[in-house]
Amino acid sequence: MKSSTAPNIRLENLTIGYGGNPVVKDLNIEFPGGKLSMVIGGSGSGKSTLLKHILQLQPPISGEIFIGEHNMGKLSRRERHCIRQRTGVLFQDGAMLGSLKLIDNIALPLREHTKLSEEQIMRIVQDRLAMMGLGHALELYPNELSGGMRKRAGLARALVMDPQVLFCDEPTSGLDPVMSAELDQLLLEMMCHFDMTMVVVTHDLASMRGLADHVVILGESKCLYQGTIEELEKTEDPYLRRFLDRAAEERDAPRLTMAPISQEMMKLNCNSIMGEKDTVRKDPQCSS
């Protein structure tokens, strides 16, 4: 088995938030190099905020972020330039530039940062789009693509510079289960094809079970867990247990059935909607 040269990502005493108000405090996390790490947590737990801070789109309140040996807060202009060119990001909705065709969107980083000829650029772009199954959509604009296609196009753009680190922000959100599974499969294939460290922010627990080498769980303004999925399965922590049981329930969930609403419940609902003092509703169900 070949050893990975992809850098690890280390967060040291990191407190992140907006305008001085912390969202997550004192994070000490290491995302191992060459592995697929997943950051999981409920809505508002700070997953996307963490991603923005690692990507230096927001300054942290305190603490440090290292990618490999580079302290992201103390980079020179040239170092930042190098690291950004070796970093790919798949945004939640692809974030493709609306004014450019798909082919130009994917070619943009190559045109801006390399001295490759237009012919070479086109060859790389077509190769990446073919990998994503978008070889037929070169001339389309982003608004002509479906949600799943936009995400795959975003992935193609993220991979066009052969990154060593790939960040994905909720890659399966808004996709149907079939499409989600396809995208997960695609991410795995890309992991095998490119030697890179991948950090995926998601709340899709099925993806976590299927993909993650390393899991980080955020909640209650802190890191609740970091480690392998196998260790997580054995945990006795009540919060994490509930979290995992919920994941299992989601997987084996029975079909919900419609039960008739009782008269009592109907009355209660009407009162809570209209307020207790408002009893002059014409609906006989409510006034009875």
Partner 1 sequence: MAEKARGKIFPFTFPCTICKDFVDELGGMFLFLLESAMLIFAGWGQFPKIIRQVYFIGVQSVSVIALIGLFSGMVMGMQLYYALATFGADGFLGTGVALSMVRELAPVLTAIMLTGRAGSAMTAEIGVMRISEQIDALTIMDINPMRYLVAPKLAASLICFPILTAFFNLIALWGGWLTGVKLLGANEGVYWSRVTDALEWVDIEGGFIKSIVFGILVCTICTFEGYYTHIRSGHSGPEGVSQSTTNAVVKSCVVILASDYVMTSLLW
User: Which residues contact partner 1 by CB under 8 A?
Assistant: 52, 55, 57, 80-81, 84-85, 87, 89, 91-93, 95-98, 108-109, 111-113, 157
CB of 268 to partner 1, least distance (A): 35
Shortest distance in whole angstroms from residue 82 CB to partner 1: 9
Give the shortest CB-150-to-partner 1 separation in angstroms. 11
- Of residues 95 and 181, the one with the C-beta less far from partner 1: 95
- Using the minimum distance from each CB to partner 1, give the nearer residue, 98 or 254: 98
| d(C-alpha 161, C-alpha 108), whole Å | 10
- Residue whose entry in the numeric block shows the structure tokens 């795959």: 152
Shortest spacing between CB 27 and partner 1, in angstroms = 21
Question: Nearer to partner 1 by C-beta: 17 or 219?
Answer: 17
Q: How many CA atoms lie within 13 A of 87 on its CB side?
A: 21
Shortest distance, position 222 Cβ to partner 1, whole Å: 26
Measured from the CB atom, the residue of 44 and 177 that comes closer to partner 1 is 44
Nearer to partner 1, 81 or 246 (CB): 81
Which residues, in sequence order, are CB contacts of 184 under 8 Å at separation 6+? Answer: 171, 172, 207, 210, 211
What's the Cα-to-Cα distance from 35 to each of 2, 38, 163, 213, rounded to whole Å?
13, 10, 14, 6
Tokens of 130: 């073919």
Report residue 166: phi and psi, to 5°. -125, 125
Q: Enter the DSSP assignment of 92.
A: T
Yes or no: say if 28 and 12 are a contact pair by the CB < 8 Å rule: yes
